[in-house]
Amino acid sequence: MPTLDELKLKIEQLNKQHHIEILKILKKNNTVTLNENKSGVYVNLTLLPEQSITDISNYVKYIEEQEATLSSLETQKLDFKNTFFNEKEDKE
């Protein structure tokens, strides 16, 4: 499991949609204090229960795995596209 600093950096790099999902994870635990202002929602990670940290860490890991899979599939798709269309153009 990543350290709290590593987890914080990973969360900060995520987009708004993922931030909302992380907030939903945090709201499942009623003991978590969320501080909200016009700049956003702030959470003191050092005060979070271990289960919440584990859930967030698992979610971030899931996102990273999905993005890696999508990137790989996009690369493969481009390879197929280039191969198919290059061969098709060569035949014409």
Evaluate whether 73 touches 81 at the Cβ level (below 8 Å). Answer: no
Structure confidence at residue 89 (pLDDT) = 56
- Say whether 46 sits in a helix, a strand or coil: helix
pTM: 0.78
β-pairing, 40-42 with 35-37?
antiparallel
Average pLDDT of adjacent 10-residue blocks, the chain of 92 residues: 90 94 91 87 89 95 96 91 71 54
Domain boundaries, given as residue ranges, for the chain: 4-91
For 85, the token pair is 């269309």
